[in-house]
Amino acid sequence: MSATVTATTDTLISGINSTLKLRSQDGDSAQKQEYRYAHLLPDFTREHFPPLTPFDHVDPGSRALTHSNPRAFLEGASSVVEITPHLGTEVYGVNLAQLDSTGRDQVALEVARRGLVVFRDQQDFIDRSPDEYLEWGRHFGRLHVHPTSGHPAGIPEIHLVYRDANSTYNFERDDSITSTLWHSDVSYELQPPGVTTFFLLSQPKTGGDTAFTSQVATLKRLSPQFVSFLRTLKAVHSGVEQAAFSRAGNRGGVVRREPVENVHPVVRKHPVTGEEALYVNRQFTRRIVGLKREESDTILRFLYDHIDKSADNQARVKWQPYTVVLWDNRVTAHSAIIDYKALGEARHGARVTPQAERPIPALEGLEL
């Protein structure tokens, strides 16, 4: 793996702050212009944070189950289209910035049920202040601070992705034939994320899509006998490699919190819908507990290949200006598609990542 990462915001801003060639959310052609989201460029100040502590999580989607119409937030929508039968809904005409607590609860339930919901035309939301991003995210859980990523100066709860013609601040594989790397965000945490919000602030004129896959549908395609066996298994998820990547060479990355490893069930159950989902991913899952190395490697390779190749369980989001995407990190995996390098254009996005419960084993009584 290799990439070029710069350690300071000053270095980045010197080439971008007001004159970088960026394609704005307004769809302007790439030309020199003041960049309206310069305050959300990545900063790599070397803070150090203590380990995360456990907390009680109540999923807001559970409150929506008692509503007379849990999908009432969609009543004013001009268009609601299922992207695929198994995964994803695209919505026009719902202003996320105007949703009250009840509407946000309903969004959480819809995201849990569909795995992925794409909201278009969300300028009101994206052009809000960072404090308002955080207030939105806290409705869905305790906000996660990423241990190695850049964040806006002084706002560690906002995770940033950034790539331009000269630099990347992402965990990418340059020694692979593909940039596709399926993962569930920071699954190595004791309490990984649940309902996650992501949007682009700048995007290339084409490419830079995000692919998603349903880990519920992925599991359902396996034989009942094999699923019964998988339910008995638990696996180690590790943040060690990600931290080492950030520290390596002259990359200039940071590690703000020491890396952790945690054990999670291979098949988890959603606390609101009760659906079962496969919970392994190529980026962070390292081994199955209690199996010989060859046994663990064989099973994990099979599951990774199944996730990679099952296009019938996948959906692809093509980014448009002012799009906000919400997904349930417990029941989906995703991958950025880095197909725009030659264009020399920037892709700059922000993620608000609330943590959820410790993964619940699908097999009752499985000890973690």
The answer to whether the CB of 282 falls within 8 A of the CB of 183 is yes
Lowest-pLDDT choice from 42-51, 63-72, 82-91, 107-116: 42-51
Which residues in the chain belong to E strands, given as ranges?
21-22, 31-32, 79-82, 89-92, 116-119, 158-163, 195-202, 210-214, 234-238, 261-265, 267-269, 276-278, 285-288, 314-317, 324-328, 332-336, 347-352, 360-361
* CA 147 from centroid of its chain's CA atoms: 15
Please tell me the predicted confidence (pLDDT) of residue 242.
Answer: 93
Rounded-to-integer distance, Cα 359 and Cα 265, Å = 7
Residue 9 confidence (pLDDT) above 50: no
Range 250-278 average pLDDT: 92
Rounded Cα gap, residues 278 and 300, in angstroms: 11
Mean pLDDT, rounded, for 254-271: 97
At residue 172, the pLDDT reads 60
Q: Identify the weakest region by mean pLDDT among 31-45, 224-238, 343-357.
A: 31-45
Indicate whether 32 pLDDT > 60.
Answer: no
- Rounded to the nearest 5°, which phi and psi values hold at 316? -125, 125
Tens of pLDDT, residues 112-139: 999 999 999 999 999 999 999 999 999 9
- DSSP-assigned letter for residue 187: T
Unique residue bearing structure tokens 């996005």: 349
Model-level pTM? 0.91
Average pLDDT of the chain to the nearest whole number: 90
Q: Which residue has the higher pLDDT, 29 or 159?
A: 159
pLDDT at 11 over 60: no
pLDDT of residue 17: 43
142-151, 284-293, 340-349, 356-365: least confident range: 340-349
Say which residues have a Cβ less than 8 Å from residue 305's Cβ, sequence separation at least 6.
none
For residues 167-179, average pLDDT: 69
Q: What was the pLDDT predicted at 166? A: 76
Looking at residue 139, what is its pLDDT?
Answer: 98
Given this model, what pLDDT does residue 4 score?
A: 36
CATH topology of domain 33-40+59-361: Double-stranded beta-helix (3.60.130)
Strand partners, 158: 352
Q: For the chain, what are the domain ranges?
A: 33-40+59-361
| Confidence at residue 30, expressed as pLDDT on a 0 to 100 scale | 43
Residues 301-352 have pLDDT tens digits of: 999 999 999 999 999 999 999 999 999 999 999 999 999 988 889 999 999 9
Has residue 240 got a pLDDT over 80?
yes
